Amino acid sequence: MGAPYSRLQQKTEDAMELLVVKLKALELGGLTYYKGLSLKEITTPRIDIVAISAEAQRFGSTMTGNWIVEGYLSIVGNKADITRGDHGRRVAALEDILSRDDIEDVVNNLQDLQDYTMFPRTFFPTRAERFVRDDELHTRFFFECKCAPSAITLK
What is the pLDDT, as a whole number, of residue 6? 74
What is the pLDDT, as a whole number, of residue 152? 42
Cα dist. 14→8, 20, 77, 91 in Å? Answer: 10, 10, 22, 20
Question: Domains in the chain, please, with CATH?
Answer: 4-148 (3.30.2000.30)
Residue 41 makes CB contacts below 8 A (sequence gap 6+) with: none
Q: Cα–Cα distance between 47 and 91 in angstroms, integer? A: 10
Residue-wise pLDDT tens digits, 48-72: 999 999 888 887 787 777 889 999 9
**What average pLDDT does this structure show over 127-143?**
91
What is the pLDDT, as a whole number, of residue 8? 84
User: What's the predicted TM-score (pTM) here?
Assistant: 0.85
- Amino acid, res. 113: L
**Do the bridges between strand 32-35 and strand 46-59 make them parallel or antiparallel, or are there none, so unpaired?**
parallel
pLDDT band at 145; cut points 50, 70, 90: very high
Contact 40, 117 (CB under 8 A): no
Contact 73, 67 (CB under 8 A): no
How many C-beta atoms surround the C-beta of residue 91 within 10 A?
Answer: 19
pLDDT band at 150; cut points 50, 70, 90: low
Contact 14, 6 (CB under 8 A): no
What residues form DSSP beta bridges with 54? 69
45: left (phi over 0), alpha (psi -120 to 50) or beta: beta
